[in-house]
Amino acid sequence: MTFYTYGYLTTHHSSWQYLRIGLIIALLAVFVGLFVYYLRHRWNVKYKDMSIITGTLLLLVLGFQINSLVSLRSATEQTGEITATVKNVAQQLDVQPSKLAVNATTTNTNLLIKAPSGYYRLDYNSDGSAYVLERVQLHRPKVTIVKE
Supply the pLDDT for residue 29.
93
Residue 109 pLDDT exceeds 70: no
pLDDT at 101 over 60: yes
At residue 56, the pLDDT reads 93
Does the pLDDT of residue 128 top 80, yes or no? no
Query: 53 or 13: whose pLDDT is higher?
Result: 53
Look at the pTM and tell me if it is higher than 0.85. Answer: no
| Share of residues in the chain with pLDDT > 70 (%) | 93
Q: Give the CA angle between residues 132, 126, 108 to the nearest 5°.
A: 70
Of the listed ranges 28-37, 87-96, 129-138, the least confidently predicted one is: 129-138
Report the chain's mean pLDDT, rounded to a whole number: 83
List alpha helices for the chain, DSSP H.
Answer: 6-11, 16-40, 46-93
* Angstrom distance (rounded) from CA 133 to CA 122: 5
Q: What is d(CA 43, CA 24) in angstroms, rounded to the nearest whole number? A: 28
Q: Which structural domain range is residue 46 located in?
A: 2-146
* Cα 125 from Cα 103, distance rounded (Å): 19
C-beta atoms surrounding 19 within 10 Å: 10
Tell me the one-letter amino acid at 61.
Answer: V
d(CA 22, CA 12): 20
Per-residue model confidence (pLDDT) at position 22: 85
The confidence band for 42, taking pLDDT boundaries of 50, 70 and 90, is confident
C-alpha–C-alpha distance, residues 52 and 54, integer Å: 5
Strand partners, 132: 123
Percent of the chain with pLDDT over 90: 12
Structurally, how many domains does the chain consist of? 1
